[in-house]
Amino acid sequence: MLSVREVTVRYGPFLALDGVSLEVGRGEIVGLIGPNGAGKSTLLRALAGLVTPAAGSIALRGRPLAGVEAFRRVGLGMALVPEGRGLFPHMSVEENLLMGAYAVRDRARVRENFERVWALFPVLADRRRQLAGTLSGGQQQMLAIGAGLMSNPEICLFDEPSMGLAPIVIGEIAEGLHRLREAGLTVLLAEQNAKLASDVASRIYILQTGRIRYHDIPENLLRNPEVVEGFLSVY
């Protein structure tokens, strides 16, 4: 589904990503974990077209994405839910979702997508006219995810959905992610919260200072003392 080959991103003299390669298969949830500043957000932003890699290639369903503008990638079936609850606080829940549906021309399809989001996060349906900025942190994150789903993506890139959320709320987000996988959505999940990532992902990449250090299924990573010591100590 998504294939990343030797992607390098520089911010001026600073090397943010150093030859990162990874694969995400159809219907899979793949975790991307690593400490602050490891390059997780940079990788997702490069995939979404918000930063341009200095080297390497990204392909979606075999189609190279070089030179494809960020907004067109959404039309190709890739949605990024940015870090820090990407939403418009002065707009209502419904308006926020409508923003995500821009690429969908068919109105019936938009209504269908609304229903999908309401079913996934029923609490949003009760608050559809409320201003997004007045929702709780967890609800805001659900809304951000919902807005990403409104464009009918085949693959979703989630950037730290657990950020700043209470454990019980993270549980609700995890439940949402499980349901998305059951629905057949492909997900690349960047997380600092290794527990959430290993809970929902079938494979995990560990990123450190711009390079992939480990790549395995969560069970194996949990048996590796070096990994547990270095990256999963919250576990």
Residues in touch with another protein (CB under 8 A): 48, 50, 69-75, 79-80, 82, 86-92, 95, 98-100, 102-103, 131, 147-148, 151
CA-based torsion, 105, 24, 16, 67: positive or negative:
negative
Nearer residue to another protein within complex by CB, 95 or 216: 95
Nearer residue to another protein within complex by CB, 89 or 167: 89
What distance in Å separates the CA atoms of residue 52 and residue 160, rounded to the nearest whole number? 21
What distance in Å separates the CA atoms of residue 178 and residue 50, rounded to the nearest whole number? 27
Give me 106's structure tokens: 């068919």
Minimum CB–partner distance for residue 103 and another protein (Å) = 4
Q: Residue 24: phi, psi to the nearest 5? A: -125, 120
Nearer residue to another protein within complex by CB, 17 or 110: 110
Nearer residue to another protein within complex by CB, 124 or 221: 124
What distance in Å separates the CA atoms of residue 136 and residue 166, rounded to the nearest whole number? 11
Nearer residue to another protein within complex by CB, 40 or 73: 73
Nearer residue to another protein within complex by CB, 48 or 187: 48
Minimum CB–partner distance for residue 97 and another protein (Å) = 10
Minimum CB–partner distance for residue 232 and another protein (Å) = 29
Are residues 221 and 198 in contact, defined by beta-carbon separation less than 8 angstroms? yes
Minimum CB–partner distance for residue 100 and another protein (Å) = 5
Minimum CB–partner distance for residue 39 and another protein (Å) = 18
User: CA 143, 147, 151: angle at the middle one, nearest 5?
Assistant: 160
Minimum CB–partner distance for residue 231 and another protein (Å) = 27
Q: Where are the alpha helices (DSSP H) in the chain?
A: 40-48, 70-75, 93-100, 107-120, 122-126, 137-149, 167-182, 194-200, 218-223, 225-230
